[in-house]
Amino acid sequence: SQTIHQWPATLVQPVGSPLSLECTVEGTSNPNLYWYRQAAGRGLQLLFYSVGIGQISSEVPQNLSASRPQDRQFILSSKKLLLSDSGFYLCAWRTRDRNYGYTFGSGTRLTVV
């Protein structure tokens, strides 16, 4: 069966520090991968998605970047965090079949102080 791993679960980082969040998927190949952010009490905001290794599409211009160095690995990064980067970051995957929904990882709660 397919599983999605996301770490760390919580993170407290000072303003101006770098960020690296990692997500890996097991039990499938060629998944579509997604990074979402959910601010407190808000809806899900799609940040990046990837349909293959090295292929990244950005949905919202911001202080973040994403990379997909391997088929089942998706990384969210920042060189310098801002206070507004605080939130709940979620990785998700889906098969290439667009009729299926997304499966989410357990999320990383990031607090920038």
Partner 1 sequence: QKEVEQNSGPLSVPEGAIASLNCTYSDRGSQSFFWYRQYSGKSPELIMFIYSNGDKEDGRFTAQLNKASQYVSLLIRDSQPSDSATYLCAVIASNTGKLIFGQGTTLQVKP
DSSP tag of 96: S
Q: Which of 35, 48, 49, 74 is close enough to bind partner 1 by CB under 8 A?
A: 49
DSSP tag of 16: T
Question: Toward partner 1, which CB reaches closer, 40 or 83?
Answer: 40
| Cβ-contact 88, 35 below 8 angstroms | no
Question: Toward partner 1, which CB reaches closer, 11 or 46?
Answer: 46
Choose one: 19-27, 61-69, 73-81, 99-107; the region binding partner 1 (CB under 8 A): 99-107
How many Å apart are CA 105 and CA 98, to the nearest integer?
Answer: 19
Residues in the site for partner 1, rule: CB under 8 A?
42-44, 46, 49, 90, 94, 98-107, 109
